[in-house]
């Protein structure tokens, strides 16, 4: 099973600042990596798939990069609605696995 490790667990950022979230895979997942956002009381929402392709309707301030074992989600200028928990997920191998999440909170 591929283990996905996200860091940091919590990221404190001021509105308007840049946020950089990391996700590491225990073995290569090539570019088969997705990112999700989950707000309290809501279902997760797909942000990025294929490591760097934004899903439909996702603002351009969200960008994904990386391949192999190291991936990054960048939010260029945090808006109030972006404070949430973010998860990465690999879909290169069964079983599919999620990272433990990064909570982005207001500084």
Partner 1 sequence: EVQLVQSGAEVKKPGESLKISCKGSGYSFASYWIGWVRLMPGKGLEWMGIIYPGDSDTRYSPSFQGQVTISADKSISTAYLQWSSLKASDTAMYYCARSSTNWFDPWGQGTLVTVSS
If one asks whether residue 2 binds partner 1 (CB under 8 A), the answer comes out as no
Q: 47, 25, 43, 44: which is closest to 99 by C-alpha? A: 25
Q: For residues 14-53, which are near partner 1 according to CB under 8 A?
A: 32, 34, 36, 38, 43-46, 49
Query: Distance of CA 63 to CAs 29, 35, 36, 83, 89, Å?
Result: 18, 10, 12, 16, 15
Report in angstroms how near the CB of residue 85 gets to partner 1 at its nearest. 8
- Cβ neighbours, 10 Å, residue 84: 19
CB of 25 to partner 1, least distance (A): 15
Give residues in contact with partner 1 (CB under 8 A): 1, 32, 34, 36, 38, 43-46, 49, 55, 87, 89, 91, 94-101
């Amino acid at each position: 099973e591929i283990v996905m490790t996200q860091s940091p667990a919590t990221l404190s950022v001021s509105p308007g600042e840049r946020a950089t979230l990391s996700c590491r895979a225990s073995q290569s997942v090539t570019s088969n990596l997705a990112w999700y956002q989950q707000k309290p009381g809501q279902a997760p929402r797909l942000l990025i798939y294929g490591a760097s392709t934004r899903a439909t309707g996702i603002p351009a301030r969200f960008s994904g990069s990386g391949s192999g074992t190291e991936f990054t989600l960048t939010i260029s200028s945090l808006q109030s609605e972006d404070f949430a928990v973010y998860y990465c997920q690999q879909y290169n191998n069964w079983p599919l696995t999620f990272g433990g999440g990064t909570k982005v909170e207001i500084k």
